[in-house]
Every structure is written in structure tokens, then in C-alpha cells.
Amino acid sequence: MNKYKDFDGYLKEYPTTDGYFGKYGGNYLDDPELIKAFNEYAEGYYTIAQSAQFIAELRRIRRDFQGRPTPVYHCQRLSNMLGKTQIYLKREDLNHTGAHKLNHCMGEGLLAKYMGKKKLIAETGAGQHGVALATAAAYFGLECDIYMGEVDIAKQAPNVTRMKMLGARVVPVSAGLKTLKEAVDAAFEAYSREYKNAIYCIGTAAGPHPFPLMVRDFQQVVGDEARSQFLEQTGHLPDKVIACVGGGSNSIGTFIPFLADPVEIYGVEPLGKGAAIGDNAASVNFGREGVMHGFNSIALFNPDGEPAPAYSVASGLDYPAVGPEHAYLHDMGRVNYVTVDDNDAMEAFFMLSRYEGIIPAIESSHALAYAMRIAREGGRPCSCLVTLSGRGDKDLDYVVEHYGYGDEFLDKMAEKREKA
Ligand SMILES: *Cc1c(COP(=O)(O)O)cnc(C)c1O
């Protein structure tokens, strides 16, 4: 099923120099100033980021500032309770700021420094990317402008406070629905004006070339560490590697080092409330090929060709497209894109908290829920390596308001499973 042997020379071939993974990727922006800016960016990345000095400095930052390597942890209590499958977590929740996003933000910040830029520009929806980028800006002594819809600013007060505390400027966007889409437009517009002085930082492995490449490379530290840690702890490779997919950064960083291994790989998309349009954000499962946000990939479209509304209980997963490399790995049959709905994700959220003392991000709970499904199905005992992309502190107020502390919810889920 998985043609892993074909992936030996993969990294040398993909993406092509103009940013294609098969037919996916590229740069479909129509503003000539922006195209110029992204080309300069790609050139900077290809030359600077391969230098020994850049690599050594990034390695030091990962160790001394981010606290890497993050551990791989064997969930013995949870595994034993579910059956014979052994679940292991790659603990990105223990990366500084509590999620994997800082891995690429520090890379982008370091690149800005080497390219002589003075400012980082980005948009943010739930605020997680904004906080990670503001952290990088503070570390490197760069200015930081974060564009955010006014509706999101009101909803995400704690993250707005964090960004301001870190010295970033949060720029309110009042156009349209005042959420992420308008913030993206405003940030792109600012970047086309300011690119001589600033660089733009996308929050995931999507967007026009070179972002899918760059973010993948900066996130690969997750998979590289996890692979050697797992080998050292168990003496073998995991049978299955699992990560959640929003735009696809923590997952692609996890998957890349395993592509040429005899390992099954699963990208978990959010099924939200169900299969209907607007009820989920499972782009690969329900979407089609098309250009969205300046790159060609698989995305969720309305019948009129506009981006479809995306929904998930995890705000970090509600993006209507997926990075182009995931579209390619899907077409190649190398990665299985599966779905987990809100309820299964929330059950995993509460169970990991209770059985292992780790409160996960709701995003990451989707990946864990898929490993739990494998364990419950009770086939041949196997080992699952799950990337826990972040911690759940940011989600606690929301969870308590909608699901309480989990007692009733877990009873209800157990009842449902008994009936099934
Ligand atoms: C943003 C986020 C995600 C989703 O983003 P990817 O680019 O798909 O990795 C997943 N988990 C957490 C904790 C996040 O903050």
C-alpha cells in the first residue's frame, strides 16, 4: 500500500525550485510587488539557510531558548487501559510557548536577521501564531506587526495580551467579517508595501513558495528527534506515525523523516460536526484541487468557487485548505488522511488529562484520538507515535464552558461505545 521505498531521494526532488510538489504548490499571487518579495525571500532562504553558520545558530537556539529536544513519552496507563497497542507522544507541548509553532517562527526570525530585515509581519486567527511570532521578534530584537480581525481580538483576549506583553503591535482589521480572511488580506497588503524592510511569516506549511518548503524544513526537527528517540527507547521504528493536520506544519515536520521507512503514516483531519459543507475542516477528505490563498492544493470550496467556511472545535485546525505537500503525499498514497470528529477529540483531551497528567491542545487531541481508535479496534498489537503538537492551557476556559470537567461527557461517550 505504502510505496515507502520510492521515497529515498524524495527531499532532493521535492519541491522543485519553483515550489512544486507534483502539480501542487507554486506561487499564484497576482500582485507583482508581492511576487518580487516572495522571490527575494526564496533566494534568501536557498542561500542563507544552508550555511553552516545559520544551521549552527539555529541549533543553539533550539537547545538553549526553546528547550529542545522535547521528549518522547510512553503513555503506559492509557495504553494498558485501551488494550495492547502502545501509544507514545512526541511532546511538542513542552517546546517553549507550549506548541510546535515556535519551531518555524524562530527559523523565520533568524532568516530575517540574516537578510537584514527589521520587522516581522503576520496575520493571526486564534492568536497562537501571533504569540509564537511575537516571541521570536522579542528574541531577535525585531519589530513585529500582527494583523488580527476585530472579532478575533475580542474573542482571544489572553493571546492579544501576550502579544502586546512581548512587544508586538496588534493591528485591528475592521473589513468584512473581521476575522482571519480579512487579516490575511491586510497582512499581505502591508507586506507588499514594506517588504524591503520586513519579512512575512506564514503560520503553517502552506501559502505561496517558499513557505511550504521553509516551514517544513524548520519543523523537521520534530520528526528527526522523534525518530531517533523512539529507536533509542524501543530498539525499533514505530508501526504507525500520527499527527493532526490544520495547514499541515506539525504533521509534515513529523512525517518527512519517516517517508522512506516501512511505517504507516496518518494525517488526522478535523471532521468537526460531520461531513456537510461548513461542518468540518477536512480539506483532503472532502475538498478538491484548486488555487486558494496564492497556491495550488486541495481545498474546501463553495459551489461558487469561493473558499468554503471551515469549522472545528479546535480553532487551530479550521483552515479550508491544506499545504501542497500533503496534497501530493495523498495522491502518492504515502500518507493516509483520516478524520476524527469533535466528540472523539474531546474524549481524548479528557482521557490524556486524567490518565497521564498531560492536558493536550484540542488540535493535538485529534491525533491522539486516532491512536486510541486503533488501540480499541484491537488488531495486531502495534506501536503508535503521536505528535502532541501543543498544550491545552489555552483551551481550558472554552472546555469548561462547553464540556465541564469531563465526568458527564466521558460517561456519555462510554455509553455510546458500548451500544456501538
Ligand atoms: C496551529 C496549531 C495546529 C495546526 O497547525 P498545523 O500547521 O497543521 O500544524 C496544531 N496544533 C496546535 C497546538 C496549534 O497551535
State the pTM of this model: 0.97
Calculate how far, in angstroms, residue 363's C-alpha sits from the geometric centre of ligand 1: 6
Calculate how far, in angstroms, residue 286's C-alpha sits from the geometric centre of ligand 1: 20
Which residue puts its alpha carbon closest to atom 2 of ligand 1? 316
Of 195, 38, 221, 40, which Cα lies nearest the Cα of 120?
A: 195
Of 182, 247, 166, which Cα lies nearest the Cα of 190?
A: 182
Whether 97 lines ligand 1, by a CB cut-off of 6 Å, is no
- pLDDT at position 1 is 42
The residues facing 200 across adjacent strands are 121
Residues 345, 336: Cα–Cα separation, whole Å: 18
Give the number of other Cβ atoms within 10 Å of residue 254's Cβ: 31
Calculate how far, in angstroms, residue 215's C-alpha sits from the geometric centre of ligand 1: 12
Largest CA distance in the chain: 62
Nearest ligand 1 atom to alpha carbon 361: 13
Whether 250 lines ligand 1, by a CB cut-off of 6 Å, is yes
Per-residue pLDDT tens over the stretch 312-361: 999 999 899 999 999 999 999 999 999 999 999 999 999 999 999 999 99
Which residue puts its alpha carbon closest to atom 5 of ligand 1? 246
The best mutation among 218, 245, 313, 317 to test binding of ligand 1, ranked by most ligand atoms within 8 Å of the C-beta, falls on 317
- Cβ-contact 370, 242 below 8 angstroms: yes
Report residues of the chain scoring pLDDT below 50: 1
- pLDDT at position 126 is 87
- pLDDT at position 177 is 85
Whether 364 lines ligand 1, by a CB cut-off of 6 Å, is yes
- List CB contacts of 247: < 8 A, sequence separation 6 or more: 203, 204, 205, 206, 319, 321, 322, 323
Whether 406 lines ligand 1, by a CB cut-off of 6 Å, is no
The best mutation among 101, 124, 297 to test binding of ligand 1, ranked by most ligand atoms within 8 Å of the C-beta, falls on 101
Calculate how far, in angstroms, residue 149's C-alpha sits from the geometric centre of ligand 1: 19
Whether 363 lines ligand 1, by a CB cut-off of 6 Å, is yes
- pLDDT at position 5 is 82
Whether 204 lines ligand 1, by a CB cut-off of 6 Å, is yes
Whether 247 lines ligand 1, by a CB cut-off of 6 Å, is yes
Active site members = 75, 100
Whether 49 lines ligand 1, by a CB cut-off of 6 Å, is no
Q: Give SS3 for 332.
A: coil
Which residue puts its alpha carbon closest to atom 14 of ligand 1? 316
- pLDDT at position 181 is 82
- List CB contacts of 350: < 8 A, sequence separation 6 or more: 403, 406, 409, 410
Per-residue pLDDT tens over the stretch 68-95: 999 999 999 999 999 999 999 999 999 9
